[in-house]
Structure 1
Amino acid sequence: MNIPVVDFGAYSLTDKQVSDEEIENMSKQLKTAFTEVGFVFLKNTGITREEMDHVLDASKKFFVQPDELKQPFSWTNFANIYKHGWVSVETEKLNPHQHGDLKEIFNICSIQPDIKWPSGAAADFQEIHTSFFLRCKELSLRVLTVMAHSLGVDPEIFLSAHRFVGTDKNSSALRTLYYPPVNSEKVKEGQMRCGEHSDYGSITLLFQSHEGLQVRARSGEYINVPIIPGAILINIADLMQRWTNDQFISVSHRVLLPPAGDLNARQSVVFFLIPDNEALITCLDGSNKYPPVTGHAYLIKRLNATYEQT
């Protein structure tokens, strides 16, 4: 199985208009990718490698600090913003049957300027991450538009359920991840950098600096995902699979431990597009295969399972 590569240049963030013919061409390619694989590489999106590198650099300045300097930004200290903030190594367990994942996280679930943001060594953290959040939001909405065309439905069906991205009425998140060097002598049996899981929302945008990600093929076998310079990896998440009555598929993926002797850290940036908290997700075809659920209710259910034993 190969993950398709689609040129999104006709509808990139640098272009204001796109023709019906260009939309039709992209929609056919995305439909094939999302119905057969669940993942696609998009190139020429308008988001540059330089933008990604700025986010990685700013977040690394935060992660390499001693834990006592990161603790004030712990997700447990943002009671009014669900799961916003720093998550320490082994706190998250994406596969509940395995040990905690060997990664640190900073979740940006709010871009409001009046919350507490990292400063000091990470003084540019707020500006860089807020800007990138908004860029990912705009690209995601363009992808949703093309996806709607591919299904023959009004794009407003998807867009109207994502009106409040970036506010307290929506739980979409920009997540920056730091996978520290691994000491193979201290790794628990079966432990991974990121356990097997599917994503929870509508679609996910992934920017990664190194290989290590694996995606499950229809055969059940996990395949290695390459790095394609300049391309963004995008996948279908659970609520979109429910929304499309399994036409688009949400696929399990994971991040393995590095090979023995590889002491390099790994970084990635992920944007999770999630429907508005009160948006009711029902099957587009009118069936009742999946019961209606709001974006927030489904997210809470999945996140509680992820964190309940940590």
Structure 2
Amino acid sequence: MSQTHTRFDRLPVVDVSGLFSDDPDQRLATARELDRAARDAGFFYVTGHQVSRAQQAALIEQAKQFFAAPDDWKMRYYIGKSTAHRGYVPEGEEVFAGGKRDRKEGFDTGRELPPDDPDVQAGTPMLGPNMWPEQPGFREAVGGYYEAAFALGRALFRGFSLALGLPETHFDRYLQKPPSQLRLLHYPFDASAGDRPGIGAHTDYECFTILLPTAPGLEVMNGEGEWIDAPPVDNAFVVNIGDMLEVWTGGTYVATSHRVRKVKEERYSFPLFFACDYHTVVAPLPQFATAEAAEKYPPVSAGDHLFAQTAQSFTYLKQRLERGELVLPEGSKGLASFGQQARYAGTEQDVV
């Protein structure tokens, strides 16, 4: 298996406008740029993405209004009341590897599915209706942004298909109704920037992530285990490889470990975790299926992996596990089992 990730000191920038071109040569050229960024860093900025500034601004404004509301009102929409892991996430609800509680609050949404959807009726985790707060314009702004960012995700997946030598629409079959979550995250002003991290070191569980941040704080681990700043770039998204693309590529693309450092500045962050359909079985593609890759990356259900990781990091789900109301899928991995952080486990770089 080839060594991936360089000792980069800044994230590459990829103009993805070519993915929307009618010219197949232009789409292929852009795909090669994506491939280089994915192999070298696993984390990069994308410009030319076709998500309007107005859609971004409306999302941010609605998030600011929601998080400024009283805690008891926000808790009316507590995620633990949801049937599909949607709603308000209070500070301290999430605990990543290492056991530290996060210094943030959030609101989780996904693709709206009706109660009579067969997968919803079957009780498939992470699928179902959203929990919408009674805040004028919230559903329209958040839903509109979700659709625009999801369209970008489809285009990126087609770019990755070309980059990996596959037919351009190879992954489309796995994107019928994926549990792709859009999270609205708020890191409050912290004059002391105390002992807790904004969000602990981790990889993302899905295929890749499309992130809109409003302030500095994000750090990315490079190929030498060093933490590199990834500040916001105007009208650019941050995209990073997740666990499932690491599996599909047999480790050629690595799910890059990242964290949010302790900063005083108030910060908002909006990741769309782009997943494949829940029941997709992911294993190294034929061109990456070496003996080493096959041993390291046995087939995994994308949805089961997402659910297992989520259940191990959200307090309300951990409590249900302890009470025996939930059971982790067979073969579930522990937290922080992918990415550069796993390679450097036990070293000082993991301290957050």
1:24-35 mapped onto 2 (5 Å cutoff): 24-35=28-39
Tell me whether 1:256 sits opposite 2:271 in the alignment. Answer: no
2:149 corresponds to 1:152: no
Which one of 116, 120, 132 corresponds to residue 145 of structure 2? 132
Partner of 2:187: 179
Instruction: Give the 3-state SS of the residue equivalent to 2:101 in structure 1.
Output: coil
C-alpha separation in 1, matches of 2:240 and 2:182: 15
User: Does 2:211 match 1:206?
Assistant: yes
Relative to the length of structure 2, the TM-score reads: 0.78
Structure 2 Cα separation of the partners of residues 228 and 183 of structure 1:
25
**1:59 alignment partner AA:** A
> How many angstroms does 1:228 deviate by?
1.3
> Which AA in structure 1 matches 2:308?
K
Deviation of the 1:49 alpha carbon: 2.8
The secondary structure found in structure 1 opposite 2:268 is strand
- Structure 1 residues 214-259: Cα deviation after superposition (integer angstroms, max 9, x where no partner): 000111110111221111111100011001101111110011111x
Q: Which amino acid aligns with 2:142?
A: H
TM-score (norm. length: structure 1):
0.88
Shift of 1:60: 1.2
Residue number among 9, 17, 42 corresponding to 2:17 in the alignment = 9
1:307 aligned to which of 306, 314, 317? 314
Give the 3-state SS of the residue equivalent to 1:306 in structure 2.
coil
- Report the counterpart of residue 57 of structure 1 in structure 2: 61
CA contact (8 A) 1:111 1:130 kept: no
Matched residue SS, 2:51 = coil
Q: Is the 8 A contact 1:3 1:41 kept in 2?
A: yes
**Distance between the aligned counterparts of 1:280 and 1:99, measured in 2?**
32
Structure 2: give runs of 5+ residues left out of the alignment.
1-7, 115-128, 320-352
> 2 CA distance for matches of 1:266 and 1:130?
21
Q: Following the alignment from structure 1 to structure 2, what is the Cα–Cα distance between the partners of residues 115 and 295? A: 21
Q: Distance in 1 between matches of 2:250 and 2:203?
A: 16
Find 2:79's aligned residue among 75, 82, 102: 75
Q: Distance in 2 between matches of 1:304 and 1:69?
A: 25
Who is 1:298 aligned against?
305
Per the alignment, residue 45 of structure 1 pairs with 49
CA distance in 1, matches of 2:307, 2:47: 32
**8 A contact 1:98–1:195 mirrored in 2:** no
The answer to whether the Cα contact below 8 Å between 2:75 and 2:88 also exists between their aligned partners in 1 is yes
Amino acid aligned to 2:64: K
- Alpha-carbon deviations, 1:108-159, whole Å to 9, x = none? 024358754112xx31111111111111111101101011101101233322
How far, CA to CA, are the matches of 1:112 and 1:235 in structure 2? Answer: 27
Q: Please give the root-mean-square deviation of Cα atoms over the aligned residues, in Å.
A: 1.7
Distance 2:214 2:156 in 1: 23
Equivalent AA in structure 2 for residue 86 of structure 1: Y
User: Per-residue displacement from partner, 1:48-75 (whole Å, max 9, x unpaired)?
Assistant: 3332121011011111111110111110
Task: State whether residues 84 and 110 of structure 1, in contact with CA within 8 Å, keep that contact through their aligned partners in structure 2.
Answer: no
In 2, distance between residues paired with 1:223 and 1:204? 18
Cα deviation, residue 268, structure 1: 1.1
Where does 1:134-283 land on structure 2 (aligned, <5 Å)? Answer: 134-164=147-177, 170-184=178-192, 187=194, 189=195, 191-258=196-263, 262=264, 264-283=265-284
Structure 2 match to 1:167 = none
Counterpart-to-counterpart distance in 2, 1:132 and 1:73: 20
Identical columns (%)? 25
Count of residue correspondences: 289
Match of 1:118 in 2: 133
